Structure 1
Amino acid sequence: MDTVIKIDKLQKKFGKFEALKDVSFEVKKGEVVGFIGPNGAGKSTTIRVLLGILKRSGGSVEVFGKDAWDDEIEIHKRLSYVPGDVALWGNMTGGEIIDLFIKLHGGAKRNKRDELIKKFELDPKKKAKNYSKGNRQKVGLIAALSVDSDLYILDEPTSGLDPLMEAVFQEEIEQLKNEGKSILLSSHILSEVERLADRVVIIREGVVVEQGTLDEMRHLTRSNVILQTTGDLSVFKNMTGVYDFQQKGKELSFSIDHEHINDLLKVAATMPMDKFEIVPPTLEALFITHYENDEA
């Protein structure tokens, strides 16, 4: 699989302040990578270095095998970018701005512009100064998704959109993924990242602290279990790795450490079960648990 983005030990200083201390990760061809972290973690700074807007203080950043700073113009011919707060020319209409962005990039995919305007329910004749934040985001998304790029860098792209429009965005990203496009998605909507991303990179205080597929990261927290049985309920309560044990009649609910799930299954197999559910942790649970453990 070809490497589209390669970041190695990236550092960025603003005077004495180290915004990025050690950022290393890759995005492969045809892959969606979710880039998450709390506010001020360094997500947007990393993206600005990727785009050649900021010059790195250390490390290396390559896009399509080219240096992100030295070869910025060549790189930009093959990518689309949407920031978290799209700034527009107030006296131009949304349609005029979309057409300008498309023209600057080199042309749109046939009929894609009009299709996206309809899907995102944007009034392209209204002047940008009268747009809400959500509509400004729609203009940026429509322009970016209308062109045929190899890489899409999206920094909080659905900020200000309602849930219906978020669903439209997710459908478009899944289509791009099916077409073999590469996507770096920075989002505070963890369910969005969980649905779309092949891999997740977690950054905190300028350092990448965890990365991998969701399955690889499940070890960071516990699975939730719900079961109903006529067997001896105390057996489950006394098992190693069981937490938050609750009982309502014959129904039990508890959480269990990943490494003890096999032990749970062996015990459960010896009893009559009316109900048995194991729910793996969500990305939100992984994220929260990771930071709780880190602070501890």
Structure 2
Amino acid sequence: MSEKSAAVVARDLVKDYGSHRALDGLDLRVERGEVLGFLGPNGAGKSTTIRLLLDLLRPTSGDLRVLGESPREGGAALRSRIGYLPGELALPRTGSAGAVLTRLARLRRGAGEDALAPLAERLGLDLRRPVRSLSKGNRQKVGLVHAFAAEPELLVLDEPTSGLDPLLQREFLALVREARDRGATVFLSSHVLGEVEDVADRVALVRAGRVVDAGDVASLRRRAGQHVELVLTGPEADDGKVREGLTGLPGVTGLAVSTTDAGTRVTCLLHGDPDPLLRAAARYRVTRWSAQDRELEELFLDAYRVGDDARGVRA
């Protein structure tokens, strides 16, 4: 696929702040019309990536295309096609929420002005309230209304549900789905895995300025594996023999064997085909078997347990 066919293409993107390297060869591709969850803790490089997408910062090296254009060369015309909610939203200290949103809409030549009131109603935002009196959650609503109102081609949302209660978080996810249904691309940066799982087509995990894993949620869950527990009984099921028989099986890691009143208890993490483990366990009498899918959050944490020299993968 060509770079123009994608909403975002980043190749070997590097950004240095003096001696600190915030992005270290980041590779990323976001297709048009998809919702990408861009996940990582504070300091992973999420906000820096977003600022590069919007030409608020310039890369030290590497190549970046947004909606088929260089952010620098695309300028204001390109940014008019993007809806943006920053992680730290700065609003004027004077005027009502409605007046501020109207001024912002008119900077886009009125695009989305008719949608302000309906969106505010959905999010429970009182447009008459002075901006200076708004809570963190209500200020976030102002930012969401502005980002979605003009129905942009690309939505770039940095920690969008910060300060919102659970009911409004669900309403936000409904807005994201509606945007995707009309063909928009959504770049959703977050450290809240649950909300991303609910709505994202794909997820990219970023660590130390690199994408360390990427894929659709279902495939990432499969790679996350399962927590397995067995209880084995019988004359051969002493813990030493069981440990010897199960050690080194394909896909089995974190093996732990212990003796209990019920028998020999085995726990492990299983990736891939369960057949080798099942065949090995069948030598004994199996009185308990349980397998539970790991949460995506655990895969996320795995990505942050690797050493500092871990190499990124292309997304």
TM-score (norm 2): 0.81
* CA distance 1:179–1:21, change in 2 (3 Å): same
User: Which amino acid letter does the alignment assign opposite residue 141 of structure 2?
Assistant: K
1:229-263 deviation per Cα after TM superposition (whole angstroms, max 9, x unaligned): 9999x69x75442646798969x894432134243
Q: Is the 8 A contact 1:227 1:276 kept in 2?
A: yes
Q: Which residue number in structure 2 is paired with residue 283 of structure 1?
A: 296
Q: How far apart are the structure 2 equivalents of 1:191 and 1:123?
A: 28
What secondary structure, in the 3-state scheme, does the structure 1 residue paired with 2:7 have? strand
Which of 39, 51, 56 aligns to 1:48? It is 51
Per-residue deviation at 1:195?
1.5
Which of 61, 69, 74 aligns to 1:71? It is 74
Which of 92, 115, 123 aligns to 1:120? It is 123
Q: Which residue number in structure 2 is paired with residue 257 of structure 1?
A: 270
Q: How far apart are the structure 2 equivalents of 1:270 and 1:178?
A: 52
Query: Unaligned stretches of 5+ in structure 2?
Result: 310-315
Q: How far apart are the structure 1 equivalents of 2:292 and 2:124?
A: 36
Q: How far apart are the structure 2 equivalents of 1:109 and 1:274?
A: 63
Per-residue deviation at 1:271?
11
Q: Which residue number in structure 1 is paired with residue 307 of structure 2?
A: 294
Residue identity over aligned pairs, in percent, reads 34
Q: How far apart are the structure 2 equivalents of 1:264 and 1:63?
A: 47
Q: How far apart are the structure 2 equivalents of 1:162 and 1:112?
A: 23
Per-residue deviation at 1:279?
3.5
Q: Which residue number in structure 2 is paired with residue 152 of structure 1?
A: 155
Q: Which residue number in structure 2 is paired with residue 184 of structure 1?
A: 187
Q: Which residue number in structure 2 is paired with residue 207 of structure 1?
A: 210
Confirm or deny that 1:39 pairs with 2:52.
Answer: no
Count of matched residue positions in the alignment of Structure 1 and Structure 2: 296
Confirm or deny that 1:19 pairs with 2:22.
Answer: yes
Per-residue deviation at 1:28?
0.5
* CA distance 1:278–1:179, change in 2 (3 Å): farther
Q: How far apart are the structure 1 equivalents of 2:284 and 2:103?
A: 67
Per-residue deviation at 1:227?
7.9
Larger Rg: 2
Q: How far apart are the structure 2 equivalents of 1:184 and 1:118?
A: 24
Q: How far apart are the structure 1 equivalents of 2:271 and 2:160?
A: 33
Superposition pairs of residues 55-66 of structure 1, within 5 angstroms: 55-66=58-69
Q: How far apart are the structure 2 equivalents of 1:248 and 1:294?
A: 39
Q: Is the 8 A contact 1:49 1:69 kept in 2?
A: no
Q: Is the 8 A contact 1:224 1:253 kept in 2?
A: no
* CA distance 1:137–1:110, change in 2 (3 Å): closer
Q: Is the 8 A contact 2:10 2:26 kept in 1?
A: yes
1:151-206 deviation per Cα after TM superposition (whole angstroms, max 9, x unaligned): 00001111111211111111111111222210111001111111121112222222
Q: Is the 8 A contact 1:82 1:140 kept in 2?
A: yes
User: Which amino acid letter does the alignment assign opposite residue 294 of structure 2?
Assistant: P
User: Which amino acid letter does the alignment assign opposite residue 124 of structure 1?
Assistant: L
What secondary structure, in the 3-state scheme, does the structure 1 residue paired with 2:213 have? strand
Q: Which residue number in structure 1 is paired with residue 312 of structure 2?
A: none
Q: Is the 8 A contact 1:85 1:133 kept in 2?
A: no
* CA distance 1:267–1:171, change in 2 (3 Å): farther
Query: Unaligned stretches of 5+ in structure 1?
Result: none
1:51-99 deviation per Cα after TM superposition (whole angstroms, max 9, x unaligned): 0111111111111111111212121121100011211111111111122
**Mean Cα deviation higher: 273-282 or 118-127:** 273-282
**Mean Cα deviation higher: 173-182 or 221-230:** 221-230
